[in-house]
Amino acid sequence: MTQALRETLAKPSIYLPTTATIADIRPVGKREKVFTIELPKGVSLGNQPGQFVEVSILGVGEAPISISSSPSRSNGSFELCVRKAGDLTGVMHTLKVGDTLGIRGPFGRGFPIERFRGKDMLFAPGGLGLAPLRSLINQVLDERGNFGRVIIAYGARDPGELLFKDELERWAQRSDIELHLTVDRGDESWTGPVGVITTLFPKIEVHARNTVAVTVGPPVMYRFVLMELLGKGISEGSIWLSLERRMKCGVGKCGHCQINHLYTCQSGPSFSYAEIKHLGEAL
């Protein structure tokens, strides 16, 4: 057996899940829990902000879930923010610390953070979109000196849908972060702005040539947020978004995530608007 063949056989297969252990579970919303996942000793996920993994449970199935933690805070584990919304996520919400599940990945192209350094960063997550975008936000905050302004404009349907409230409070207290929050519908305890996420943009001034904008959220949100960002003069190549909801197998075999000639799980899920604006199925 040649050395090259030995090295090939030693590499983990992209088709076979690695058994991982749930090290911690905590609620972060009405329907969302954050699972801290530990891989076997000596195994590192090696992800980039914006990538995803395939999570499997024996007898239930498999589903793609975005990585919510930043590589800078891995410490041998990573986090998944999971909304109870289907068969696999429903079963995940019944699991306990110490239970195991299967992990394949990471997959996809993450956000090219090396191109963002030195820029002002405008983050615009909507609803559950904060979960995958949190990976990039915290990576930027951990490298705070490498970036200019950090602006976060976050919108949700109601105050109960706002995720990671403890982190939102910490961000609000930092002098080097500009945090803007809104909800579609307020309640008796809400004292902040009421309206869809686009109502926040008139309050935000940017230096368009030096700004990178990143938005993640429900597909219906994208075209309206894109109009606001383009209206501020931010270039199409400096506006990034994630099409993470379209994945299935993760390795470009099933065709479920195909957009024209692209497989989202391989060419994305992170795209600049310039890359997909001419693809009719993308948005």
| DSSP for 161-198, written as a single string | G---HHHHHHHHH-TT-EEEEEESS--TT--S-BS-GG
CA 123 to CA 109: how far, in whole Å? 18
Instruction: Examine the domain organization and report whether 136 and 82 are in the same domain.
Output: no
Query: Tens digits of per-residue pLDDT, 18-51?
Result: 999 999 999 999 999 999 999 998 888 999 999 9
Instruction: Examine the domain organization and report whether 103 and 120 are in the same domain.
Output: no
Residue 136: the pLDDT is 98
* pLDDT band, residue 9 (cuts 50/70/90): very low
Does the pLDDT at position 149 exceed 80?
A: yes
Instruction: Examine the domain organization and report whether 153 and 251 are in the same domain.
Output: yes
Beta strand 211-216 pairing with 77-83: unpaired
CA dihedral 199, 204, 210, 216 (to 10 degrees): -40
Asked if 48 and 110 count as a contact pair (C-beta separation under 8 A), the reply is yes
Asked if 24 and 97 count as a contact pair (C-beta separation under 8 A), the reply is yes
Q: Give the residue from 90, 107, 124 where a domain finishes.
A: 107
CA 260 to CA 281: how far, in whole Å? 7
- List the single range of 73-77, 133-137, 187-191 with lowest mean pLDDT: 73-77
The values of phi and psi at residue 264, to 5°, are -60, -35
- List the single range of 23-27, 206-210, 226-230, 265-269 with lowest mean pLDDT: 265-269
Instruction: Examine the domain organization and report whether 84 and 142 are in the same domain.
Output: no
3-state helix/strand/coil string of 245-267:
HHCCCCCCCCCCCEECCEEHHHH
CATH code: domain of residue 156: 3.40.50.80
- Order of strands, sheet of 178-183, starting from the edge strand that comes earlier in the sequence: 178-183, 150-156, 120-125, 211-216, 239-242, 270-272
Whether 36 is in a domain gets the answer yes
Residue 239: the pLDDT is 98
Instruction: Examine the domain organization and report whether 151 and 90 are in the same domain.
Output: no
Instruction: Examine the domain organization and report whether 103 and 117 are in the same domain.
Output: no
Residue 260: the pLDDT is 84
Domain assignment of residue 96, given as a range: 3-107
CATH code: domain of residue 51: 2.40.30.10
Query: Tens digits of per-residue pLDDT, 119-128?
Result: 999 999 999 9
Whether 283 is in a domain gets the answer no
Average pLDDT of the residues of the chain: 92
Q: Give the residue from 81, 107, 133 where a domain finishes.
A: 107
Instruction: Examine the domain organization and report whether 228 and 120 are in the same domain.
Output: yes
Instruction: Examine the domain organization and report whether 66 and 163 are in the same domain.
Output: no
Instruction: Examine the domain organization and report whether 242 and 196 are in the same domain.
Output: yes
In single-letter form, the type of residue at position 58 comes to L
Mean pLDDT of 177-192: 94
Whether 170 is in a domain gets the answer yes
Q: Give the residue from 76, 107, 138 where a domain finishes.
A: 107
Residue with tokens 């109502």, as numbered in its chain: 199
When divided into structural domains, the chain yields a total of 2
Instruction: Examine the domain organization and report whether 129 and 178 are in the same domain.
Output: yes
Mean pLDDT of 116-141: 97
Whether 178 is in a domain gets the answer yes
Whether 281 is in a domain gets the answer no
Does the pLDDT at position 2 exceed 70?
A: no
Contacts of 31 (CB under 8 A, 6+ apart): 83, 84, 85
Residue of 67, 85, 91, 80 lying closest to 31 (CA atoms): 85
Q: What percent of the chain clears pLDDT 70, i.e. is strictly above it?
A: 95
Instruction: Examine the domain organization and report whether 14 and 120 are in the same domain.
Output: no
- List the single range of 9-18, 58-67, 74-83, 93-102 with lowest mean pLDDT: 9-18
Instruction: Examine the domain organization and report whether 267 and 171 are in the same domain.
Output: yes
Query: Tens digits of per-residue pLDDT, 223-244?
Result: 999 999 999 999 999 999 998 7
Whether 282 is in a domain gets the answer no
* pLDDT band, residue 138 (cuts 50/70/90): very high
Contacts of 194 (CB under 8 A, 6+ apart): 182, 183, 184, 185, 186
- List the single range of 98-107, 195-204, 239-248 with lowest mean pLDDT: 239-248
Which pTM does this prediction carry?
A: 0.93
